[in-house]
């Protein structure tokens, strides 16, 4: 989900399974400090990570096992490898 679009449409809460180090926006968004006067209605949704994380990693591993190359495969391989690293804090 595009975080900017979610903010533009007033989405109040986002749940996601896995962080995406190459193109994810959660880390950037958590460091953002809104200028309330300049952007009065533009608010960051509550963000919750790790929902069904293990199941999602298993799906990415299945994809990687079934395919052998391409841009989507390379990206999926990096996401599947997240199962090999420590889990990020939820929140």
* 60 has pLDDT over 80: yes
For the chain, what is the domain count? 1
In a domain, 91, yes or no: no
As a whole number, mean pLDDT of residues 47-56 equals 92
In a domain, 90, yes or no: no
pLDDT digits (tens, 9 = 90+) for 24-51: 777 777 777 777 788 777 788 888 989 9
Q: What is the reported pTM? A: 0.71
In a domain, 89, yes or no: no
pLDDT of residue 88: 53
pLDDT of residue 65: 95
In a domain, 18, yes or no: yes
In a domain, 17, yes or no: yes
Which residues span the domain enclosing 31?
3-84
* 82 has pLDDT over 80: yes
Dihedral in degrees, nearest 10, Cα atoms 25, 27, 29, 35: -140
d(CA 38, CA 56): 38
38 token code pair? 């300049």
CA angle 61, 18, 12 (to 5 degrees): 145
């Amino acid at each position: 989900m595009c975080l900017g679009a979610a903010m533009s449409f007033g989405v109040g809460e986002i749940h996601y399974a896995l962080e995406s180090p190459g193109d994810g926006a959660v880390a950037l968004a958590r460091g953002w400090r809104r200028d309330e006067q300049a952007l009065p209605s533009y608010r960051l949704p509550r963000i919750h990570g790790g929902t069904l994380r293990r199941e999602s990693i298993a799906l990415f591993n299945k994809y990687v096992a079934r395919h052998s190359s391409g841009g989507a495969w390379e990206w999926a391989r990096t996401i599947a490898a997240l199962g090999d690293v420590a889990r990020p804090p939820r929140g």
